[in-house]
């Protein structure tokens, strides 16, 4: 799956997928063959960080 390039849309898509389908960011990345550090960096560009306890970018 191609994830959005726009960081704001990416955060929204990731949080929806994490809420509905995946127990962790690692599971999402494994399933979608996505680079975890790249996702964290792209979301961080607009001030979001992944919170493992909440399993979402906040």
Residue 18: its pLDDT value, please? 98
Q: State pLDDT tens for residues 1-49.
A: 699 999 999 999 999 999 999 999 999 999 999 999 999 999 999 999 9
Backbone angles phi, psi at 24, to 5 degrees: -160, 165
Cβ atoms within 10 Å, residue 12: 13
Q: Strand 50-51 to strand 56-57: parallel, antiparallel, or no bridges (unpaired)? A: antiparallel
Q: What is the pLDDT of residue 33?
A: 97
- Give pLDDT, residue 44: 98
Predicted model pTM: 0.95
CA 45, 50, 56, 58 torsion-angle sign: negative
What is the signed CA dihedral for 18, 22, 27, 31, rounded to 10 degrees?
Answer: -100
Res 9: pLDDT: 98
């Amino acid at each position: 799956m191609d994830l959005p390039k726009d960081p704001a849309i990416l955060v929204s898509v990731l949080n929806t997928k994490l809420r509905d389908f995946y127990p962790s960011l690692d599971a999402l990345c494994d399933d979608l063959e996505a680079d975890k550090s790249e996702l964290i960096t792209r979301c961080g560009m607009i001030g979001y960080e992944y919170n493992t306890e909440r399993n979402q970018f906040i």
